[in-house]
Amino acid sequence: MEEVKKKRMLSGIQPSGDLHLGNYLGAIVNWAERTEEYDCFYFMADLHTITVRQDPAELRKRSLNQLAQYIACGLDPEKNVLFLQSMVPAHSQLSWVLNCYTMFGELQRMTQFKDKSEKHRDNINAGLFTYPVLMAADILLYQADFVPVGEDQKQHVEITRDIAERFNGIYGDVFKVPTPLIAKTGARIYGLSTPEDKMSKSVPDGCVFLMDEPDVIRKKFKRAVTDSDTGRCVYYDREKKPGVANLMNIYSTLTGKTYEEIEKEFEGKGYGDFKPAVAEAVVEKLTPIREEASRLIKDKAYLSDVYKQGAERASYVANRTLSKVYKKVGFLQI
């Protein structure tokens, strides 16, 4: 009987800081659940990280730590290709080619360039402007069928599709045109102190990191923004009660309870009962991840084997695509 070929999935997170609850619930937990269903490639996006100045030693340390956390979150390196983006030169090589097939106006319309330019006015570099092209290269190199993203990243998959279709229109069927895969639940976790904005490592007080100790997690949830509602406190209203809605989303994602079930559970109770309950659900989920990641971080030899093997497996696939692209555009090859 002929084996059915799995669809391919690819995604990555920048090692610009420790992974947090938003990364886990919004992305990584879904990645782990898809291991058996898809041919999965997940990477540390260290090339993207340097659009903002980084301390070299810290970047190397965070990249290794993130790999350990990937594995601790359930990404088995035997079943998933885990690698560092910078260890696969084809990413940078294809990115240059695709720069020449991307329109200036397309990049000007990217909302994240505008956002990051506001935050880093002293370093508005060309990489910050063209990084969506590198992101397109990340995806197209592996002929990915699906790219799991949050709603805020959907624009990057759309420009990738535009670039792929433009290139294919000139040279034939070279790239698979990817589809964004957006999780229906837990896709967007907001900051505990800024519930209007996505949870971010740049706002550490409202960010729960995977490596936080239990008491630190409890304190962050104790200080989490809610509202001054003195009536029926715990109910879902994203517009009027963004802080409570965020906590309910976290609790729902971790426990599997619906919003209606959560409302019933805390009927007649206040935030003094609700926030500790959410904190304990988070502690229960993150404690084994933190402990396993801490163990792996100490095993440098094992992590080295994982990223070397991951780079080899990723390079095999990426170089096949790059070779095809080089041939199409007219480059002589060794």
8-state DSSP, 40: E
How many CA atoms lie less than 13 Å away from 233 in the CB half-sphere? 17
List beta partners, residue 146. 9, 179
- C-alpha distances out from residue 318 to 94, 142, 143, 300, Å: 9, 6, 9, 26
Say which of 176, 198, 219, 324 is annotated catalytic. 198
Show the tokens assigned to 64.
Answer: 């290794």
> Would residue 328 show up in a list of annotated catalytic residues for this protein?
no
> What is the distance, to the nearest Å, from the Cα of residue 2 to the centroid of all Cα atoms in its chain?
34
Going by C-alpha positions, the residue among 139, 47, 147, 58 that lies closest to residue 87 is 47
Q: Which of 223, 221, 268 is nearest to 248 (CA)?
A: 221
Say how far residue 42 (Cα) sits from the centre of its chain.
9
- Asked whether 9 and 144 are in contact (CB, 8 A), the reply is yes
Q: Which of 176, 201, 219, 257 is catalytic?
A: 201
- 198 as an active site residue: the answer is yes
Catalytic residues: 116, 198, 201
